[in-house]
Each structure stands twice: as structure tokens, then as C-alpha cells.
Amino acid sequence: MDQAKGPRKGRTIGKTNNVNADLIAVVVAVNDAGPCVLTIEQGAALPSGPFELAHRSLQSGLRAWVELQTGQPLGYIEQLYTFADRDRVGANQRVISISYLALTREEDAGASGRRSWASWYDYFPWEDHRSGRPPIVLEELRPRLIEWADGADDGATRFDRRRRAAVAFALDGRAWNEELALQRYELLYEAALVEEAKRGGVSAILASVPGRSMIADHRRILATAIARLRSKIKYRPVVFELMPPLFTLLQLQRTVEALSGRLINKPNFRRLIEQQELVEKTGATTAETGGRPAQLYRFHHTILDERPVAGTKLPLPRA
């Protein structure tokens, strides 16, 4: 499987193998414009900072860095992944990146200069299928992916690349799967169709690449967060972390749609939400929605204690 030559015998002690550990946060909110991520450096980086001895835990270190850099206090936090790939961060440094997903509401914003909210889909324009498949997939990505596939040396690899591209991007009549966000990004990286793949190496004359990029492997971490969140909303009631205290069922639906990047059947969504008893009517209504005034709901917190694995099942199409 793998070489076993690397390490010396026994355990090395002391400072010999010390590394730097970075904490990186993907802070997500949803507003009318869609799903947003909290960024610094004018959208080029995620909030992050080194894990320090003073930090009580990884989570508290992360909270401290995000609050320092953006003024944003974090509520719900969940660990995403720990990366340490040598080639993916740029220089020849050895850094461990421990990434987290945080869910919040944009209004919680304190005033801070360096921060800004950016739409997910600025970084991943091929991921938003709410108005059908975006043109970029067939017009830009597909030809370039085919070109990449056909550039392989042997037939088996060509076949495999074509198949992977087709599965990830729903080509050849396949169904779109919104949870493959990370695989799509990794495929584009492998095909050198994203800017990150071209750093350091051959800086050939490059055609424009789709989607805005970020420093180091931050866009990859964002893709990880999107994939995780799109998967998780289907079986855990995490959407409510993104909602205001009171909301209508349509607002809830629009939030889920913004995250998953696809539209949901309205009656089925309502039925599923209501029968799970995750929300309760407040009695109040709002007329701000345009048509008939809608009931305002609130999240039924106590249900969480009793049903620890209760899923927010969502009627997203399967295959």
C-alpha cells in the first residue's frame, strides 16, 4: 500500500518533529443574495491563525482568531478536516491546517474593517443549479475536461478521466449531485483548470480559469465545507443555525435551496418540516412576503435534546 521507510524506529521525542498548526474557519451565513462565506483580504482568504499555547482548545483558538480578524462571534462550530499536504499550501513549509465550519447569521456582524461577505458561487460558479444547470458547465468546463481526459497517455486513463468528469459534473445524461462539490473542485484541480493548480509550477500561458480563487488551499477548504453542509442538512437540523429567530417556511426553504444549490418542491418541503415537529407556529404572521401573509415559525429547540440524531430530512431529489 505505502512505503514504511520514512520514520525512525521508536518514538522521537522533544522538539524534533514540531510543526505549525493553523486554524481555518469557514463561516457561513445565508442572505437574500444567497449563501455567503466570511472572508478577509478582500475575499482572498478565510479567517485563520496559528494554534497557540494560550488557547484552551482548538475551538476556542478558532473563535479567538475569527473574532479578532472579523469581529464575528461564532455560535455553531463543527470540525471539517485536517490537511497537511506539502504541495497544496504553496511554499515548502510544513503546516497542518485544521479547518472548521461555522454557521451564523449575517446580522450578528460587529464592525470590523478587514472582513467581507462573499457569495459561495463567486468561487464555485458551477455549483448553483437553482436556475437549472449554469451555462459554464457545458460551455467552458466540459470541453476543457474532455481535452484534459484525452490528453492522457493510455486509453484506460482517458476512459477513467472521462467517466469521473461525467459523474462529477452530470454529463452524458447523468443526474446532478450537489454533494460532490469537493470532488468537482479536486477534479478541476487535477485537470489544472483552477488557478491554484498552476502556482509555483509551470506558469504557462493560461486561458482564464473559472471561479475566483483564494490563497493557499482556502478554496479547497471552502469546497469541503460546502460538500459537508450540503450533506449534513439532509439528516441534521443545522439549517436553523442560519435562520433568524422567526421565519416563514418559504424563507426556510429558500435557505436550504441556497445551500444545496437546487430547488425544492414546496408542498413536500412543508410537509416534511411540519411532520418532524422541528418547528412550531408562533401565531404571528408577516405580510412582507408579497402575497398572502405567512405564518411565522420558530425552531423547536427542545426537540433536539430528545432526538439527538433526528434528521432534517429534506425532499431533495435522489437520482
Cβ nearer to DNA, comparing 8 with 292: 292
Q: Is 51 in the site for its own copies (CB under 8 A)?
A: yes
- By CB under 8 A, the residues from 5 to 44 that bind its own copies are 5-7, 9, 11-12, 15-21
Which residues are at the interface with DNA (CB under 7 A)?
248-250, 265-268, 270-272, 285, 287, 289-295, 313, 315-318
Q: Which residues are bridge partners to 82 per DSSP?
A: 98
Instruction: Give least dist CB 283 to its own copies, A.
Output: 27
Element (H, E) at 258: helix 249-260
Instruction: Give least dist CB 63 to its own copies, A.
Output: 4
Round to whole Å and give the CA distance between 255 and 242: 8
Backbone angles phi, psi at 232, to 5 degrees: -70, -35
Report how far apart, in Å, the C-alpha atoms of 281 and of each of 63, 240, 247, 307 are: 33, 15, 10, 20
Question: Which of 39, 47, 63, 297 lies at the binding interface for its own copies (CB under 8 A)?
Answer: 63
Q: Is 65 in the site for its own copies (CB under 8 A)?
A: yes
Round to whole Å and give the CA distance between 230 and 261: 9
Instruction: Give least dist CB 197 to DNA, A.
Output: 36
Q: Is 54 in the site for its own copies (CB under 8 A)?
A: yes
Cβ nearer to DNA, comparing 112 with 276: 276
Number of CB atoms found within 10 A of residue 40's CB: 19
Question: Which of 33, 42, 86, 245 lies at the binding interface for its own copies (CB under 8 A)?
Answer: 86
Q: Where are the alpha helices (DSSP H) in 36-100?
A: 58-70
Q: Which of 137, 191, 139, 140 is nearest to 164 (CA)?
A: 191
Round to whole Å and give the CA distance between 180 and 75: 26
Q: Is 179 in the site for its own copies (CB under 8 A)?
A: yes
Q: Residue 289 binds which entry of DNA, its own copies, none, with Cβ cut-offs from 5 to 8 Å by kind?
A: DNA
Q: Is 81 in the site for its own copies (CB under 8 A)?
A: yes
